[in-house]
Amino acid sequence: MTGTSTLTERFADAFMPNYGVPPLALVRGAGCEVHDEQGNRYLDLIAGIAVSSLGHAHPALVEAVSRQVATIAHTSNLFVNEPEVLLAERLLGLLGAPGRVFLASSGTEANECALKLAIKHGRAAGRSYFVAAENGFHGRTLGALSLTGKAAIRDQFGPFPLDVRFVPYGDADALKQAVTGDCAAVFLEPAQGEAGVVPPPDGYLTAARQICDATGALLVLDEIQSAIGRTGRWFAHQHDGVVPDVLTLAKGLGGGLPIGACVGIGPVADAFAKGDHGSTFGGNPVAAAAAAAVLDTIERDGLLDRVRDVGERLRQGIAGVGHPLLAGVRGRGLWLAAVLTAPVAGEVQAAAQRAGFLVNAVQPDAVRLAPPLVITAEQVDSFTAALPGILREVGR
């Protein structure tokens, strides 16, 4: 059915109802702005859930993808392609640690790889369980979901085949009590994105590293959302000076193209044998070329500095808004949450949309902001100037 039906109406007819019906159909974008099918323009402050690192239609991304798709678009894992090799080498160089890379097509797949890597590594030593954090999010496939500490999306799909023990996020004492010599791995986010961009207390990741070192458990850091410059460093864990045993990446790495990566660091990098894991689309040359363009552009244009500077400007702008509905702001770089005093985030999201800004009601009392890394000071100022009016509309 097409006729005069809108894209959202056609979506509702054609798709499974797991997403509900999104409020907008976006048809084009340029830089940090997008347009819907009615021609309305919005400042994109969510970037496809921290994915569109370079914004929309960035020339470097367009050129890299166009060139690669006209050269060779797919090889499968039966053959090597140059973009995947260059990308793996680049990621290891940015980490500054010896390791090996597995490329996939999504963050969930990256975490599935990390989980299988930890199972195989730990099984040789008789390690039998895993530790993860309450309210953590690692994906929706059954393996990744077994590590996800959100009952609302987890419980209806159990029981799970893995023994996973959940501890309060940020509680180093609870983590220490939970991790013994029988623990295969600890899965943590440097800050919990889907929980509302919740950072841990200072020293938490350092303590987690020490606990894993003392017990022999692997430390797996899920940086699906926090990496590739999002917090002002290539990887969020670099703020704390720790090195994980396994690192997972996705979202912002491809700048809009589907890609994920699991990086094994040190001895665990060699845990897999031939045939232990695979992905038909992993290492796709078009996605790998896009990722290389993202990394090149971030470095060439000094975007890590911009993220720190503009992110702090956005943080201070939000913090300076005096309104009873606004409790404060948390996060780092261009990965922030406006924290509310009431569970009205959905209403704030809708009011922001009416005002021309796309934000994300990630929790009932938290609005997530993860704009493209190329956003300007003037653009963030336009949002913070509009925020009091948005909150007043909700507070009526």
245, 251, 357, 383: which is the annotated catalytic residue?
251
- In angstroms, the CA 87 to CA 70 distance is 19
Q: In this structure, how many other beta carbons lie within 10 angstroms of the beta carbon of residue 59?
A: 10
222, 240, 245, 365: which is the annotated catalytic residue?
222
Within 13 A of 1's CA, how many CA atoms are on the CB side?
Answer: 11
Strand runs (DSSP E) across 279-346, as ranges? Answer: 326-332, 335-340
Q: Which residues are annotated as a binding site for N(2)-acetyl-L-ornithine?
A: 140, 279
- In angstroms, the CA 268 to CA 118 distance is 8
User: Which one, of 150, 203, 209, lies nearest residue 176 by Cα?
Assistant: 209
**3-class SS of residue 319:** helix
The per-residue b/e assignment along 344-369, b for 16 or more CB within 10 angstroms, e otherwise, is bbebbbbbbbebebbbbbbbebbbbb
Q: Residue 137 catalytic?
A: yes
Q: Residue 251 catalytic?
A: yes
- In angstroms, the CA 279 to CA 234 distance is 25
The per-residue b/e assignment along 373-386, b for 16 or more CB within 10 angstroms, e otherwise, is bbbeeebbeebbeb
137, 166, 357, 383: which is the annotated catalytic residue?
137
- In angstroms, the CA 359 to CA 343 distance is 16
User: Which one, of 22, 113, 48, 96, lies nearest residue 252 by Cα?
Assistant: 48
- Residues belonging to the active site: 137, 222, 251
